[in-house]
Amino acid sequence: MGGDYTVVGSRARRLDGPEKVTGKAVYLDDMQFKGMLHGAILQSPHAHARIKSIDTSAAEALPGVKAVLTAGNVPDTKYGVSPARYDENILAIDRVRYVGDEVAAVAAVDLETAHQALELIKVEYEPLPFVLDIDQATAEGAPQLHQEYLGNLTAEVHQEFGEVARGFAESDLIRTDTFVNKRQDGGFIEPPRSVAVHDLSGNLTLYSSTQVPHYVQRTIAMLTGLSVGKVRVVKPYVGGGFGPKASASPCDILSSLLSMKTGRPVKIAMSREQVFLHCRARHQFKHVMKTGYTKDGIIKALEHTCYLEGGAYSSFGIATVYYAGSLLAAPYRLPHMKYDGYRVYTNKPACGAQRGHGGVAARACFEQQMDLVAEELGMDPIELRLKNIMETGDVSCNDLSMSSLGMKECLEAVQGGSDWNAKKGKLPPGKGIGMAAGFFVSGAGYPIYRSETFHCTVTIKVQEDGGTVLVKTAAAEIGQGSDTTMAMIAAEAIGIPLEAVRLVSGDTDYGIDLGAYSSRTTLMTGHATREAGEQVKEMILTALAGELGVERERLDIKDGVVEIKGEAVDFGPLRTKYLKEHRGWGGMPSGDKLTFTEAARMAYLKLGTIVGTGKYKPPVLGGKFKGAAVGTSPAYGCSAQVAEVTVDLETGQVTVDNITDAHDCGQAINLTSVEAQMEGSVSMGLGEAMFEEVKFDDQGRVLNPSLGEYHIPTVLDMPRMRCIVVESGEPNGPFGAKEVGEGAIMPTIPAILNAVHDATGVTITELPITPERVLMALKQKKRDE
Amino acid sequence: MLLPRFSYHQPASVAEALEVLGQHGDQAAIIAGGTDLLVNMKHGKLAPRHLVGLEGIDGLEEIGADNGSLVVGPRLTASALAASGELSGAAQALALGAASLGSPQVRNRATVGGNVCTARPAADMCVPLLVLGAKALLAGPDGPRELPLDEFFLGPGQTAKKPGELLTGLSLPRPAEGSGAGYEKLGLRKALEIALVNVAAAIWLEPDGKTIKQAKVALGAVAPVPMLSPGAEAALTGQTAGEEAFAQAAEAAATDAKPISDHRGSAQYRREVVQVLTRRALGQAWQAALGQ
Amino acid sequence: MDKMRIVLTVNGQDHELLAAPNRTLAQTLREDLELTGTKQGCEVGDCGSCTVLMDGEPVNSCLVLAVQASGKAITTIEGVAEGNQLHPVQDAMVEHGAVQCGFCTPGMVLSAVSLLDKVPDPGDGEIRQALSGNLCRCTGYQKIVEAVQDAASKMERS
C-alpha cells in the first residue's frame, strides 16, 4: 500500500504540458531540414495481383525527381515484427497482396512533384483471385497469399492446461457462446511520419513518430545493411500510438533508403487514408467459448476457439493469436483451459497490436457469457465474479503469476461507486446497468526478438553544479506521460523535488528501451530509473559521509535536503566552500540543513561527474510449453467497470450515460496520469463497442478511410466517468507500481454489452452495437416470445 | 494532401460572377465555405481549373424580406442560421437542421447555398428547406429563374443548376403564426456525423390551435435526393394534431421512403427509423406551433 | 495559377504574402509563417486539430484557402499565451492533466478560448458542444471538459 513518498503518488503537472498547450511542442511534421526532399509511396490498387512490369522511366525523367525505388533497386530482405514470420518485402516483389501494398517510392523536391511522379509510374498488373474473410481464406482451394505459410495460416495455437474433459464433467451448467468484434483503427490523431537523414559519415538518423525507437532502429539496420550503431532513431513528440505505431513503418524504411540514395534528408508522411491502408491495428476476432460452471457458480473449464482475420502480413499476429487465448486464464481461477487459435491471412491491410493486445474481444466474450451464466444461476454478476477471482499469490493454469491483484477491491469499488445494489434489476425498461472485469500485463516478459537484452537502461547524470539531475532514457513518450513518470521516479529515488529533474528521452543514443507497448514503461523503465537514481544517491551520500566523517547509514536525502540521523554534525566548512564558489549569487543555501545541491557539488569535486546507471529485465517467467512467453509479465494490473446505458427502444440507439471504473495500478506514480489512462482506455473501448469498424467493399478497398466515416467518439459521445484508483502495492514494481494503460480497456466493451442486456433483454454478440443491430435484436426477441 | 492547381476569381457582383462562370463553363466551380468542394478536390474527385469565390459580392449573406417571403442569402453559414432570430415558426426547421450539421468548425464555414448545391441525400439543411417549400433563386446568362427545391435536386450531387448559373438565394414563405418545426437526425455519433436518416417536419395550425391547416414532412438519406413525403402531408392536412395523426403520417412517410441498403444501414432499418423519426419530428413541430 | 497578394492578420500582426490560390490557410500558417502549433491530422475537416480562430470563430484551417482568409483576423495557438504567461485555459489544461499526446491540444484550446470569449460561464453541455469538432483519442475528454470549467470559473473570478 501507498508508501511514505514525497513525489510518487502526487498529482504532478506533466513536464510536456506547457509546450503542448502553447503549440511549441515539436512533432515530426514541425521539423525543418535544409535541402529536404519529399517522398511518396505508390500503392497497389488491387487486393491481389501479379506485377507483370513496372516502368519508372517517365517518373525518373520528371524534373525535380531525385530517386525512384522499386523492388528492383532495394534489398530483397524480408522483414516484419516477429523474426519467426518475416513475411514482408520493402516493396512488392512480383506480387501485391492487398489494396495499399507498397509498390514504389519516389523522392522529389516537393510533394506535388513526388505525387506527379507516382502518376507517371506505369505498373502492369495481372489481377489474381483474392480472399477477404476467414471463410474464403480457409476454404479448400483458396488462393494462397504466401507460399511459405500454406492454408493462409500465419500461425495456429493448440494448448490445453489441466484436463478440460474433467472440468466439464464436474460442471452443472455448460454454455457455448460466440462473439465477433470488428477490425479497428488506431485512430491516433497524428498520422505516422518520418524524416531520414543519411550523412557524409555514413550515419543514418531517422526521426520518426514511432512508439518503439529501438525496434525501428533494428529493422532499419537490418534492411539497410548499416550497423546498428550507425542508425540512430529519434522520436520527437508523437501524436498517439496505441499499438499500430509499434513497428517500423513504410515511412521509416523508405525515407531511410531514399535518403541513402539521394544524400539528402527525405520526409515521408502518411495521409489519413494511408493510415487506414497501413492499418496494423486491432484484428477482427471470432470467438467461440464453451464454459462450464458448477451450480454454485464456480468456473470449472473453458474450451475456446478463436479465428483472427489478419490481413496480408503477420505484423504482430503471432503474439496476437497467443494473447487471445492466454489472457483468459486470469483474473478468475480457471483450473482447466483448452485453446485453439488460428491467425488467418486475407488480402486486406495487415492487422497488428492495439491497446489490450489480443485480449479485448476475448474478454468481452467471456465477461458477457459470465453475465448470462449469472442470469441462469439467479446470481448477481458481481457476486459470481467475487466467487471466482484470483488473489495475490495465485498462479494461473498457464503459469501467469499474480504477484499482486486487487481484483476484489476493484469489484467492491465499482459496486459501491456506481450504487450497483440500488440499481441492478431495478431500472425501468430501456435503462440498464452492467459490469465486467479484466486484467493485463505490465510489460511483456520477453522482447519481440529472442534475446537476453536488458529491456531498458537509464542514465542519470548529476549536473556538476549540483542542483539538478538529468535523466536520459530511450523510453518513448507518446502521450501516456512516461517522461513525467520517469522524472517523478528519479526524484523520489534520489530524494529531490520534481523541479530538480530534467529529462531527455526517445532517442536510441540514450540507451536501450524496448518502447511504449504492452504497458511496460512504468514498471520496467521505472525500475531502471529508480536503480540509476539510487546509485546517484549512494555515490553522493558515500562521498558526503567521508567528507563529514560520519557513517553512511546516518545520511539520507529527502525533498532536496540531507537528513543526518543522530547527533548534529558540523557541515559549516562545506557550506562555506559552496558559498565561496558562488560569491555574488542570490538564492544560496542557508538554514540549518545541508542541501542536496551542496552535497552533490561536494561529491562532484571529489569524484568528478556523478553518473548513475540503471537497467531492467524481468526474471525468467512462465512455463515451458510452446507459446508460454506470451502473457507472461512481472506483474498484472486489473480493473472492474460498471456501465449505465439508455436504449432508445424504438430506434435501437444506445447512449452510455455513466462509467464507474476502478483499476489496480499497484501504486500511482502520477495520480492524474493514472486517471487519464483509465479515461482514455474507456473512450477507446467505448468507440470499439459502439461505433468503430473498418469496412471494405467486395474488391478489398476500405470504404471508410477517414475520421469522418470511421467514427471515434467525440466529446458528446463520452459519458461522465468516475475513476477509482486501487493500489495493491506490486512487489515487482518500482515503488509498487504496475500498469494502467491497457488493463483499463478490458472491461469497457462487456460492461456496456451487459448493460444493454440489462436494459433490453437482448444479447448483442457482434460489434459495434449499432442502433440497427439493437433494433433488429429487439424485434427478433419479440418474435421469439 | 495537396489541392490541385486552379485560378481564383473574386467577382464583385453577381453580374461579374456570371461573366466568369460563362467564360470558363464546366472548368469553373463556385466556392463558398469550401467544406465540401475542397475535400473533393483534395481527394482528386474534382479538379476545376477555376474557382469563383463569392466573398466579394454584397448581399448574399443576409436574410431579406421580399413580399410574403423570406430570402435566405446563400452565403449564410450554418452557424449564422442556427442562431438566427428571423427563422421562427416553421422556418425554425432550417435553424434546427443547420445546428446539427458537422461540427462547430464546419458550421462556421459551411453555407446553406453550398449545402443545397452539393445536394447530398442526407444534407442537414436541404431536408428542412423542403418542408418550407423553399425555392432556389438562380441567376444566369438568360436572366433569373426560380425553381422549387424538390425540382432542383436531381440526384446525389446533381442539381438542375446549369454550369453558368449562380444560386443567389433561397426563398421561403414568411414565418406564420401557429406554425412550428421539428428536426430529427439519427447517426452513430452525436457530432461530426452524416445522418443515417434525418427527418424534418413543419406544421401550420388553424386558429383553433388543433386542426392542421398544412403539414409537410421531408426525409433524408432514404432516396437519391432529399425528398418530401406526399403521403405524410395528405395524412395530416385537415386532421386534428396529435399522436394518432402523427402515427398515420409516419406510416405514410415510411411507405414513401425509397431507401437502399449500404454499408451504413439496411433499407429495412432506414424505413423503420423514418417512421419513428417522423412521428417524433411532428410531435416536436406541434409543440413548437403551440408555442411550447 | 497566378499567385495572389493577401494580407493575413495573425495574432495581431499583419503579414503581406503572395499566396498560390491552392494554398490552404493551414499550409500558409505552418510553412510560410512557421507557426507550426497548428496541427494537421486529417486535412479534410474531420478532426479539428488545425482549428484556428478566424474573426474569433473556430474554423478548420485545412479547409480555408489562404486567399479566402485575406483581410481576416486569425488567432493561432501561438497567439493565446502572453509571453510565458499561459492563458487560463492553457494553465487549466496542464493542471488537470487534460493533455496527453498533445496533438489535438492546440485546436482544443482555441475552441475553448473562443467559447469562453462568448460564454463566460458555460455549462457542461455548452462546453461539450463547443469542443465537439475536436477529436481526441487519448483522454476520453473528461479532463478537458473539467479544465475548461475550471478556467471559466477562474476567469470569472479575476
Measured between beta carbons, which residues in chain A are less than 8 angstroms from residue C80? 22
Question: Which phi and psi angles does A371 have, rounded to 5°?
Answer: -65, -35
Q: Are A751 and A435 in contact (CB under 8 A)?
A: yes
pLDDT band at A3 (very low <50, low <70, confident <90, very high): low
C-alpha grid cell, residue A21: 498547450
By the 10 Å C-beta count (0-12 exposed, 13-18 middle, 19+ buried), A701 is classed as middle
E strand or H helix that includes residue A283? none
- The stretch A664-683 carries a mean pLDDT of 98
Question: Across all residues in chain B, what is the average pLDDT?
Answer: 97
Show me where the domains of chain B are located: 7-52, 63-173, 179-289
- Check whether B264 has a pLDDT greater than 50: yes
Of A709, A770, A775, the CB nearest to B272: A775
Task: Tell which residue, A328, A329, A332, has the closest CA to residue A411.
Answer: A332
Q: Which of A15, A20, A27, A711 to mutate to test the interface with C (most CBs of C within 10 A)?
A: A20
Q: Quick one: CA dihedral A759, A760, A765, A768, positive or negative?
A: negative
Matching fold, domains A17-24+454-501+516-616 and A31-128+189-240+245-276? no
* pLDDT score, position A1: 42
* pLDDT score, position B65: 86
Query: Which position has the higher pLDDT, A1 or A103?
Result: A103
Per-residue model confidence as pLDDT tens digits over A628-668 = 999 999 999 999 999 999 999 999 999 999 999 999 999 99
- Report the 10 Å Cβ neighbour count for B5: 12
E strand or H helix that includes residue B241? none
Neighbours of A, requiring at least 3 CB pairs below 8 Å, are B, C
pLDDT band at B67 (very low <50, low <70, confident <90, very high): confident
Q: What percent of chain A has pLDDT over 70?
A: 100
Tell me whether A672 touches chain C (CB under 8 Å). yes
Show me where the domains of chain C are located: 4-79, 88-157
Mapping DSSP onto H, E and C, the string for A219-274 reads: HHHHHHCCCHHHEEEECCECCCCCCCCCCCCHHHHHHHHHHHHHCCCEEEECCHHH
Q: Which of A715, A721, A723, A752 to mutate to test the interface with C (most CBs of C within 10 A)?
A: A715
Question: Across all residues in chain A, what is the average pLDDT?
Answer: 97
Q: Which of A110, A270, A651 to mutate to test the interface with B (most CBs of B within 10 A)?
A: A651
b/e burial code for range A642-673 (CB count within 10 A of at least 16 → b): bbbbbbeebbbbbebeebbbbbbbbbbbbbbb
Measured between beta carbons, which residues in chain B are less than 8 angstroms from residue C124? none
CA of B272 vs chain A CAs: smallest distance (Å): 8
What residues are paired with A571 via a beta bridge? none
Task: Tell which residue, A38, A87, A365, A65, has the closest CA to residue A194.
Answer: A38
- The stretch A511-537 carries a mean pLDDT of 98
Of B1, B31, B53, the CB nearest to C43: B1
Out of 3.30.43.10, 3.90.600.10, 2.102.10.10, 3.40.50.150, which CATH number does the structure's domain B7-52 have? 3.30.43.10
Task: Tell which residue, A80, A79, A82, has the closest CA to residue A630.
Answer: A82
Of A708, A717, A775, the CB nearest to B269: A775
Q: Is the ipTM of this complex over 0.90?
A: yes
The CA distances from residue A353 to A162, A182, A264, A558, C75, in Å, are: 29, 14, 33, 41, 39
CA of A209 vs chain C CAs: smallest distance (Å): 11
- The stretch B167-194 carries a mean pLDDT of 95
Looking at CATH, the fold of the domain delimited by C88-157 is given as: DNA polymerase; domain 1 (1.10.150)
Task: Tell which residue, A331, A352, A350, A317, has the closest CA to residue A400.
Answer: A331
Looking at CATH, the fold of the domain delimited by A17-24+454-501+516-616 is given as: Aldehyde Oxidoreductase; domain 4 (3.30.365)
Show me where the domains of chain A are located: 17-24+454-501+516-616, 31-128+189-240+245-276, 284-441+635-784
The CA distances from residue A751 to A324, A367, A748, A760, in Å, are: 19, 8, 5, 14
Q: Are A779 and A705 in contact (CB under 8 A)?
A: no
- Check whether B258 has a pLDDT greater than 70: yes
Looking at CATH, the fold of the domain delimited by A284-441+635-784 is given as: Aldehyde Oxidoreductase; domain 4 (3.30.365)
* pLDDT score, position A21: 98
Neighbours of B, requiring at least 3 CB pairs below 8 Å, are A, C
- Check whether B292 has a pLDDT greater than 90: no
Question: C65 and B7 in contact by Cβ < 8 A?
Answer: no
- Range B179-289 has CATH code 3.40.605.10: no
Measured between beta carbons, which residues in chain C are less than 8 angstroms from residue A187? 137
> What number does CATH give the domain B63-173?
3.30.465.10
CA of A26 vs chain C CAs: smallest distance (Å): 8
Per-residue model confidence as pLDDT tens digits over A712-762 = 999 999 999 999 999 999 999 999 999 999 999 999 999 999 999 999 999
User: B7 to chain C: nearest residue by CA?
Assistant: C1
- Check whether B141 has a pLDDT greater than 50: yes
Of A112, A650, A776, the CB nearest to B276: A650
Out of 3.20.20.80, 3.90.1170.50, 2.102.10.10, 2.90.10.10, which CATH number does the structure's domain A31-128+189-240+245-276 have? 3.90.1170.50
Measured between beta carbons, which residues in chain C are less than 8 angstroms from residue B104? 58, 111, 129-130, 132-133
Half-sphere exposure of A514 (CA within 13 A, CB side): 30
Out of 3.10.20.30, 1.10.540.10, 2.70.98.90, 3.10.50.40, which CATH number does the structure's domain C4-79 have? 3.10.20.30
Q: What percent of chain B has pLDDT over 70?
A: 100
By the 10 Å C-beta count (0-12 exposed, 13-18 middle, 19+ buried), A425 is classed as exposed
Query: Which position has the higher pLDDT, C146 or B163?
Result: C146
Q: Are C23 and C89 in contact (CB under 8 A)?
A: no
- The stretch C118-145 carries a mean pLDDT of 98
Of B2, B103, B189, the CB nearest to A111: B2
Task: Tell which residue, A31, A33, A441, A448, has the closest CA to residue A214.
Answer: A448
What residues are paired with A647 via a beta bridge? A654
Question: A480 and C103 in contact by Cβ < 8 A?
Answer: no
Tell me whether A239 touches chain C (CB under 8 Å). yes
